[in-house]
Structure 1
C-alpha cells in the first residue's frame, strides 16, 4: 500500500481503529449537514462572551510544580457562556456552558477548556453518544432504568438560572497533566462563582419525569416575563459594572492508574470523582472585564484539541473506550467550524467524510461544502425527529451507525436497533 502524500494526515484519525473511524465519521457527517443547513453551531448556538485574565494564586498547597498552571502566573483568557440547545429563549430549562480559552503572553491560543453545568455527562463513549442521538424516547427511558446515573446526569445538567455568572461549571472530561518532575496525573476542571454563598445547585431543575423532553430544553414558565435574551444582557451588565465578573478555577487531580480497567473507570465522564478522595483544589481567579461583540462571540472556535504538552488530551483507539468521546469530538468540532465559517476543508477530512454512510454535497463552492441553496425560515430550537425511508436515515438528527438495521418506513426504536460491537455498552 502506498500512502497518498498529497495531503497532510490528521493524527487523531490515523490512530483510531476502523470501527471508531466509522462511528465518528457518520456522526461528523450528520452534524456537518445540519451545520451547512442552518449556517450556525449545532449545540451552544447563542450566548455571551467576554475577555479578561486568569491569575493563579501565589501558593497552591499540595500541587506539584507545573509549567502552565504555575503559582503567580497570569494569562489573558476568553470565556463564552451559552445555552446547550435553546437558541431562542434564555428562560428555557437547558444545560449552560462555559468555554474558556487560555492565551499565551503573545495572545496565541494555549489551551481550550469546555465546561458545562452538571457534574456528569450522559454518554460515556463516542459510541454511546451517537447511539443516544438515534434512539427513540422509549429506548432511552428503557436504558436509564438500568443506568440511573445517566438519568441523573441528564437532569443534573439542566439549569434555569438568573445569571450565567451564578452557576457552577464542570469539565466532566479528564485531561492529562504532565508536571515538571515527570509525574503524570489525570485532572478535571471546575469553575465556581467567586461568591462562596452561591451553591452548586443554583438554578437547578427538579425532575418532572423519567427524562427531560427530547429537545432537552423545556419551554419557559407561562408567568415568566423576562426578555428572551436576559442572560446575555445580565452578563453584559455585570462585566461593565465596577465588580466585573469573577470566578474561581478549581481542579481535581488523581494518579494515572496502571490497570486498564481502572483507567476506564477513572475516565468515565458519566460519573463524577469522589470529592472526599479527590478534593477540589482552588488554583486561581478569573476576572472578566471586557465584553466581546456578538460578531466576535459568534466567530469564536473553541476546540478541545487546542492543548499543550503539559495539559494534554487523552487519546483513544476504540469507540468503546471512555476517552473516545473527548478525543473524537475535537475532530467533529473542527469540521463543523470550517463549514460554518466557509473555510477550506483539508483533503484528509474530505476523504474521511466521503467514506461515511452520509453523503454530503460538496459541489458548487471552492471554499467549503454548501448544500443546494434553499429558502431558509427562522432558525429555531427544533431538531427534527428521525424517520426511516427505504432503510436510510433522514432528519437533522439522524446518525447512520454501522450495524443498525430498520424496516423500511418504520420508526427507529429499541426493537429495531441491532448494534454491532455492543455500541450501547
Structure 2
C-alpha cells in the first residue's frame, strides 16, 4: 500500500499529462508505456500501426462550415496536410483482418508549399482515427487490464464488458481499399469557439463521394479474445494490397476525403459530460450530426525515409481543439490521456531505444543518461581499435530484435530455437560429427566448389579472384612484365604457429588477353625459400592451394572483419555517442542495426583466444589482432571509392567491379537526395556532427593521419555516409555471403594449412578446425536479416532495382543486407 501513496513521477519535470494525476494513474502510465516501449524497441518501428503509407495534400475549409465560428476553421482557409493509412495492430500483411487507421496531420505553412519547405515534425493538429465508431473499453483502468491480460483472462473481460464483442465486429475490416472506409476519432476532444463556448468534439473522415462504409465482417467469424482474424487460406491478395492501392490512387488523380465534426455542448451535469467522453458509446447522429468542415485532397506520396520518423499523437493540438486530460484512471478521458503518453514513449523508444524520463518512471532520476556513458570504448585511446567495449552489456538501443534472433538461430548448425542470443551453438559440432563418423562435407549442404567439377582448373581460380569472397585485390603492373595484374599478400611480419604453413609472401600473376584474365604464375616465399610455379609444373596445384590459404586469412581479417565490422564500429560508436536529433540518424541508423551486437558476439566467436580465426588458422590471437589493427590504420572514408580498386581494363567476367561501381553510384544519388531534403535540419544540429567528428579523430588508430577522419563540413559528412552505407550493405553482403561458396569445402580452401610431418601436427585437431570452418561459414553466409529490397527506403530500393542487371551477375540484389549484422 505504501507504493500507492507515493507518486512515482514526483521527481519528473512536470509535463501537464503527468503533473496532476493520481498515483494509480502514474503507475498505469508507467506499466503500459513499458509494454508499448518494449514493442517499439524490439520492432524498431511503431508499436502499433507499424507499416503505413503517408500522402501529402491540402485541407480546405468548406465555404459555409456549419459549426460555431473557430479561430482556425475559417471558410476557404487552406493548410498543407499529411494523411497516413495503416493497420492498427501493426501487421505488415494487409490481408490479415484488422482495424484500419487514418491519421491526419495539419501543418503550418502555405498550402501549396513543396514537402521540402515544410516542417513535418511540428504540426498544428494531429487527428488519430480508425474504423469503428467506438473503442472497446471506456477508461485507463479497464484498458490496462486488457493490455496486461493473457488470452484466457481476456475471455473473462469479454463477459465483464459485453460491449467489446460488437465493437470489435465494427472495428475489424476486410476492405478493398483504405479509401472506401469511414474513420472515427472514437475518443472525445474539446472544441472552443471564438465566443469561448465549449463543446465536446469527435471527428469523422469519409470519402468525398460520400459512399457507404465498407469492409464489414460477419460477427460470427470473430475469434475473440483474438482481436484480429488471420489471412484466409484462399486469400491470394498481395501482402501490401491496401498500401499499393492507396499509393496508386494518390498518384493517379489523387484521393479526396471530407473531414467532419460532431459537436456536443459541454454541460453543467458531470454525469452527462462523462457519458459524452465515454468512447464506448457512439453519439446519436440525428442528435449530433456529422457536419462537413473541410475537404482533403491528397496528391503526393511522402518518401518512406521522411514518413517513418513522424510521430503522430493526439496531444499535438491547439488549446481550442485540445486533448482532454484526466486526473484518475476511472475518468472516461483517461483513455485518450493515456494514449498520448504511451505514443510518445513508443516514439522515443523507436528512435532512441532509451526511456523518456520526463513522462514515465523508469527508475531514472532526471533526464536520459549521457550517451557517452552508455557507449564506452574498449581499450586505450589511439592504441586499440576504436570499438564498443564488448565486455559491457549491450545498451537497449542496440540489442538484437526477436526477428534477428530467430533468423540467427535457424541458421546455426545444429539449428537453435530462438530465445536469448545463442552465444555458443557452433561449439561442439565438430565433436558431434566425429562421434557420428561424419566429415563436414558429408554433414553440411554442398557449397559452390563441391558442385564444380572444374574447381581446380585455372580459369575457375581466376573467376574466384574476380568475383569470390575477397574481391577488389588486383593491382596493375606498370613495368614491362609478361603479366599485367597481380594479387599479393605479405605475411612477413606475422608469426606463424608451430606446424602451421603460411607463406611469408605470395603473389599471383595474371595476363590480360582478349578481355579476359589468365593465370600466368605464382611466386611465394616459404621457410625462407623463394619459388615460382607456372601452369603444368609439378607443384602448380600446391601453389594455388597455398595462395587460397593466404587469401582466406586476409579475407577474414582484412576484408570481412577489418573493412566492415571493425572499421564500421568506429563510425557507429561516434554516431551513437553524439547523434540524437540530427536528421542524419534517419539515414545512418538503419545501416548500423545489429553491428555492435554481432561485433560483441564476434569478440568471442571469431577473435580472442578461442575464436575461429586463431583456432582454425596458423595465426595466434595476438597476430590476428595485429593484422586487424594494421588494416584499420589504413582505412578512411576520405577520398575513397570503389573506382580506386577497379580494374583499368574491361574484363568480361569481372562482375564485382561493375556491381560495386553501380551500387556506389546508386548510394551517391540516394545520399545526395537525402541531404537536399534535410540540409536545414542537418545544419541546425551540426553540434552533434562536431561531437561525432571529435570522437572519430580522438579514438582513431591512424596516428598522424587521424585528422583524415574529421568531419569538417557538410560535404565531408555526405562522403562519410556514402562510404558507411556502401560498406555496411553491399560490400559486407558480398564478402560475408560468399564465404560458404569459397570456404565451405576445406579440401579446396582452408583458412589454415598444417605440416603433417611436424611433431605438433594432430589430425584430429585439424579435422575439428575444418569442421568449425564449415559450420561457422554456413551460419555467417545464411543469416539474411533486413535485406535492402525488403526493408530499405524506397529511394534506395528503386535505385538498386534499376541497376540490377549490372549488380546481379555478381550478387543477387535481394541478398544485399541493410547492415553488417552477422
TM-score tier by shorter-chain length is 0.7 to 0.9
- What pairs up with 1:295-306 in 2 under 5 angstroms? 295-306=305-316
Change over 3 Å in CA distance of 1:146–1:340 after alignment to 2? closer
In the alignment, is the contact (CA less than 8 A) between 1:50 and 1:289 conserved in 2?
yes
Residue 259 of structure 1 aligns with which residue? 269
Structure with higher Rg: it is: 2
TM-score by length of structure 2 reads 0.42
- What pairs up with 1:26-175 in 2 under 5 angstroms? 26-61=31-66, 63-105=67-109, 107=118, 108-175=122-189
Change over 3 Å in CA distance of 1:277–1:297 after alignment to 2? same
Change over 3 Å in CA distance of 1:375–1:137 after alignment to 2? closer
Secondary structure of the residue that 2:212 maps to in structure 1? coil
Render the CA deviation track for 1:146-192: whole Å, top value 9, x for unaligned: 53322111121001111111110000011101110110100100000
In the alignment, is the contact (CA less than 8 A) between 1:155 and 1:205 conserved in 2?
yes
In the alignment, is the contact (CA less than 8 A) between 1:121 and 1:153 conserved in 2?
yes
Change over 3 Å in CA distance of 1:142–1:347 after alignment to 2? closer
Secondary structure of the residue that 1:98 maps to in structure 2? strand
Residue 208 of structure 1 aligns with which residue? 220
More divergent stretch after superposition (86-95 vs 73-82):
86-95
Using the alignment, how far apart are the partners of 1:10 and 1:343 within structure 2?
21
Using the alignment, how far apart are the partners of 1:139 and 1:373 within structure 2?
31
Using the alignment, how far apart are the partners of 2:260 and 2:285 within structure 1?
12
In the alignment, is the contact (CA less than 8 A) between 2:32 and 2:147 conserved in 1?
no
More divergent stretch after superposition (253-262 vs 168-177):
253-262
In the alignment, is the contact (CA less than 8 A) between 2:146 and 2:157 conserved in 1?
no
Higher helix share: 2
In the alignment, is the contact (CA less than 8 A) between 2:47 and 2:90 conserved in 1?
no
1:237 and 2:248 are equivalent in the alignment: yes
Secondary structure of the residue that 2:196 maps to in structure 1? coil
Using the alignment, how far apart are the partners of 2:197 and 2:60 within structure 1?
24
Residue 270 of structure 1 aligns with which residue? 280
Gaps of 5+ in 1: 357-361, 381-425
In the alignment, is the contact (CA less than 8 A) between 1:38 and 1:379 conserved in 2?
no
Higher strand share: 1
Greater relative contact order (CA < 8 Å, ≥ 6 in sequence): 1
Residue 336 of structure 1 aligns with which residue? 346
Using the alignment, how far apart are the partners of 2:358 and 2:159 within structure 1?
41
Deviation at 1:377, TM superposition (A): 2.0
Deviation at 1:365, TM superposition (A): 4.9
In the alignment, is the contact (CA less than 8 A) between 1:159 and 1:204 conserved in 2?
yes
- What pairs up with 1:363-374 in 2 under 5 angstroms? 364-365=374-375, 370=396, 373-374=399-400
Secondary structure of the residue that 1:37 maps to in structure 2? helix
Q: For this pair of structures, how many residues does the alignment match?
A: 368
Deviation at 1:89, TM superposition (A): 1.0
1:322 and 2:348 are equivalent in the alignment: no
Using the alignment, how far apart are the partners of 1:375 and 1:279 within structure 2?
47
Using the alignment, how far apart are the partners of 2:31 and 2:59 within structure 1?
38
Using the alignment, how far apart are the partners of 1:314 and 1:379 within structure 2?
41
Using the alignment, how far apart are the partners of 1:36 and 1:375 within structure 2?
8
Secondary structure of the residue that 2:358 maps to in structure 1? helix
Change over 3 Å in CA distance of 1:369–1:32 after alignment to 2? farther
TM-score by length of structure 1 reads 0.80
Render the CA deviation track for 1:80-124: whole Å, top value 9, x for unaligned: 000012523111110000011111236441000100000100011
Using the alignment, how far apart are the partners of 1:207 and 1:165 within structure 2?
22
Render the CA deviation track for 1:278-317: whole Å, top value 9, x for unaligned: 1111111111000012222211110111110111111100
In the alignment, is the contact (CA less than 8 A) between 2:126 and 2:312 conserved in 1?
yes
Using the alignment, how far apart are the partners of 1:344 and 1:147 within structure 2?
36
Secondary structure of the residue that 1:49 maps to in structure 2? strand
Deviation at 1:371, TM superposition (A): 5.7
Secondary structure of the residue that 1:341 maps to in structure 2? helix
Using the alignment, how far apart are the partners of 2:43 and 2:375 within structure 1?
17
Secondary structure of the residue that 1:208 maps to in structure 2? helix
Q: 1:199 aligns with which of 190, 205, 212?
A: 212
In the alignment, is the contact (CA less than 8 A) between 1:154 and 1:211 conserved in 2?
no
Render the CA deviation track for 1:190-231: whole Å, top value 9, x for unaligned: 0001122x212x0011113665352x2212222221111111
Change over 3 Å in CA distance of 1:209–1:230 after alignment to 2? closer
Using the alignment, how far apart are the partners of 1:378 and 1:207 within structure 2?
37
1:9 and 2:14 are equivalent in the alignment: yes
Residue 377 of structure 1 aligns with which residue? 403
Q: 2:237 aligns with which of 226, 231, 240?
A: 226
Change over 3 Å in CA distance of 1:258–1:170 after alignment to 2? same
Using the alignment, how far apart are the partners of 2:61 and 2:24 within structure 1?
42
